[in-house]
Amino acid sequence: MKVILTHEVSGLGAAGDVVDVKDGYARNFLLPRRFGTPWTSGGQKQVDAITKARANRAIHDLDQAKQMKGQLESKSITLAAKAGNAGRLFGAISGGDVADAVKAAGGPQLDKRKIEVVGHIKSVGTFQAKVRLHAEVLAMVTLEVVAR
């Protein structure tokens, strides 16, 4: 089944890509979560609009991406989250939380869809998150989760 991706799916493609996947994967995972739509001949206009929007948001210059990588990796981002007595969080830290914390710490505005939190952050401590800045640049951000 051909599917137009509307969001980036790790290991499959970026938003705007037309991919050929198995029918069950499309019906049971991609379509219900709105990560993609079925490809139609009229869907090419949608692909063009997604590609144009992605190009506007993307970091075009490799040097700029490397500079942002250095800026992100040099900082330790502190996230304050509501936690219980044992240090277990009420909920989990998401990519949106990381993007907000980076912005509050004086860092650049990041797209939360480009942030991949390594594992599930459900306790207080130090963790890592991957940020895809460019097709060739991946930054590792150090997160310090503290109880609020």
Residues with Cβ within 8 Å of 92's Cβ and at least 6 positions away in sequence, in order, are 120, 121, 122
Domains of the chain: total: 2
In a shared domain, residues 69 and 123: yes
Residue found by looking up tokens 């401590």 in the block: 125
In a shared domain, residues 89 and 140: yes
11: containing domain = 2-57
What pLDDT is recorded for position 9? 87
Alpha helices in the chain (DSSP H): 23-25, 44-57, 62-74, 95-104
What pLDDT is recorded for position 8? 83
- The three-point CA angle 72-98-14 to 5° equals 85
Q: Mean pLDDT over residues 126-148, rounded?
A: 88
What pLDDT is recorded for position 113? 83
What pLDDT is recorded for position 41? 78
In a shared domain, residues 38 and 51: yes
In a shared domain, residues 49 and 78: no
In a shared domain, residues 44 and 100: no
* DSSP letter string, 89-115: EEEEE-HHHHHHHHHHTT-----GGGE
In a shared domain, residues 51 and 88: no
State the CATH number of the domain containing residue 12: 3.40.5.10
In a shared domain, residues 93 and 132: yes
Q: Which of 45-59, 60-74, 132-146 has the lowest mean pLDDT?
A: 45-59
State the CATH number of the domain containing residue 142: 3.10.430.100
Quote the CA–CA distance of 148 and 146 in Å, as a whole number.
6
In a shared domain, residues 40 and 109: no
- Could you read off the pLDDT of 17-49 as tens digits, one per residue? 889 999 999 999 999 999 998 988 788 787 787
In a shared domain, residues 28 and 90: no
Domain final position from 15, 42, 57 = 57
Domain final position from 57, 73, 93 = 57
What pLDDT is recorded for position 21? 94
In a shared domain, residues 26 and 88: no
In a shared domain, residues 104 and 44: no
Quote the CA–CA distance of 124 and 121 in Å, as a whole number.
8
What pLDDT is recorded for position 43? 80
Q: Mean pLDDT over residues 108-127, rounded?
A: 86
Answer whether residue 140 shows pLDDT above 80.
yes
In a shared domain, residues 33 and 66: no
pTM value is 0.63
Q: Mean pLDDT over residues 102-119, rounded?
A: 85
